[in-house]
Structure 1
Amino acid sequence: MLTNVLSAASQRVLEGVLSWPFPRPAARALVERDDEYLFVAVEMAGERLWILPGGGVEAGESPREAAAREVLEETGLDVTVGDPVDAFAFESSVGAHVATVFRCTAPRGDLTTDENPDVEPIVDARWVPADEVSDLSLPSELAPVVDRCC
């Protein structure tokens, strides 16, 4: 399955989604609990968009480890990272990325947003019922992934 996910991501890169020759690996977490999904909000060009928690893979870190670290940093939750379920390419203000999306589970706990400034600072985090996910304002690159996975 991972081969298919990575092949799809590679195809999107070849189709011109990215203009940079060497995208940075990234990880995103599709965190599910009690038929709800975890989303975090960022402000981009004056617009609030909802994204899956995650970010760039650091040197010496696996994408799976990056997904767990980013969720903890962005929401305060210590998740269990499962299998990869999808991948997508996107560009941010710091360059091009190819993100692997991992299915994750989370224990009960309060959500907190990270106070450290970041390229995409998190302004909110919330659990979204599965039947309300389609109402969220998502980045265009992420919307098809959410449609397939939620």
Structure 2
Amino acid sequence: MADTSALLPDPVYFAGLPKVVCSGAVILRDETGRFVIEKPIYRDHWLLPGGGVDPGEDPRECARREVAEELGLDIEVGVLLDIMWVPSRAASCAPMGAHFVFDGGVIPEAELRERIVLQAEELSDWRLVGPEEAHLLSDWGAERVRGALAVLKGCAGADLHTAG
């Protein structure tokens, strides 16, 4: 195979490009349609199960790994439900963000209660909530949930939006 390294721009070029922070999360539901949220010890609000993408993994792999680490569940991560683009914020030096939400499937409530083992270093609690309780998440977290739930209900065009 031919060496194509000479065709790539100089590494200095790549170093100067904007950085994007990515995360992967899931909407993991019970048989009634409620979804799992978790209470991290380092935030005032609840989150969807998930977290930051590590080097070498994609957002779907990240979501599966984070659910295993945080909740002790080995799940198959399904279809992409939502992408939220968060613009960079110069005032706080925050980079751009791309936050992916996937379908985590359905596990009956009794099985969730039996199988979930919280990652004590990061989480203090978990619960099942309905869409009306999305306000327990941050404003943008609730927006992600509403977008993902709309896709699960079959609403076209509800899978890409930008955080305010």
Normalised by the length of structure 1, the TM-score is 0.68
Name the SS of the counterpart of 1:114 in structure 2: coil
Q: How many residues align?
A: 120
Provide the rounded CA distance (Å) in 1 between the counterparts of 2:30 and 2:64. 15
- Structure with greater strand share of residues: 1
Q: Residue 26 of structure 1: which of 23, 33, 44 is its match?
A: 23
**Structure 1 stretches of 5 or more lacking a match?**
1-20
Q: Is the 8 A contact 1:27 1:100 kept in 2?
A: yes
- Per the alignment, residue 13 of structure 1 pairs with none
- Per the alignment, residue 133 of structure 1 pairs with 133
What's the offset of the Cα at 1:114?
0.7
- Per the alignment, residue 144 of structure 1 pairs with 143
**Coordinate RMSD, CA, aligned:** 2.5
Name the SS of the counterpart of 1:58 in structure 2: coil
**Structure 2 stretches of 5 or more lacking a match?**
1-17, 89-93, 150-164
Normalised by the length of structure 2, the TM-score is 0.62
Name the aligned partner's letter for residue 36 of structure 1: R
What's the offset of the Cα at 1:33?
2.2
Larger radius of gyration: 2
Percent identity, aligned pairs only? 29
- Per the alignment, residue 105 of structure 1 pairs with 105
Q: Deviations over 1:58-111 (max 9, x none)?
A: 1221211110110111111111211111112459xxx54321110112543422
